[in-house]
Amino acid sequence: VSNAGVGMAGPLECQSLAAMQSLMDTNFFGLVRLVKEVLPDMKRRRGGHIVVISSIMGLQGIVFNDIYAASKFAVEGFCESLVVQALRFNVAISLVEPGPVTTEFEAKLYEEAKRADYSRTDPETADIFTNLYLRNSKDVFASLGQTPEDIAEHTLRVIEAAHPPFRHQTNAAYTPMAALKHADPSGALMTDAFYKLVFKYDAVLRLSLR
């Protein structure tokens, strides 16, 4: 089970390349290093199961989560490319894709966001992040967040499955979000829906979450 991960949220201009590279080293290359260690023996034994804790953000990018989403997209692409070869050796690969999970991980991220320096971006972007994104994100976690124990139960079901799924989403509330992307390959439907949700109907979003 590959579960190591770090988060990053905020305006792109305020994030250093060193911090981005460090995140990718944990979230993506950490997984690559692990798979390189365990896969050869699994192939020799012609059996095994690699379970990767990914994210719904590996399927759909979320505003102000550019680098974190990129790392999870990399995880998804890596596993999707590898799974067919692995199956030839009777090795299963499963991606567990949670939405928001209420842990110290998120609390720490919010605290860091409050103390961050936003002088490297424009005032409008800084205002959107601090007064719109952070507020809505807290409501999302309070309303839709799962417990770590719930994610553990989902992961256990994937591990014990007779025919392990390649992808397993843990939160049904995010199924429509992923479906939007597949409904319109041009991306226009998804982009328009998210723009309106964030900038036109944010009050309705907060009310519905509460």
Q: Which residues are catalytic?
A: 68
Cβ burial of 163 (10 Å; 0-12, 13-18, 19+) is exposed
The β-bridge partners of 93 are 50
SS (H, E, C) 152-178: HHHHHHHHHCCCCCCEEECCHHHHHHH
Burial of 40 (0-12, 13-18, 19+ CB in 10 A): exposed
Decide: helix, strand or coil at residue 2. strand
Cβ atoms within 10 Å, residue 190: 19
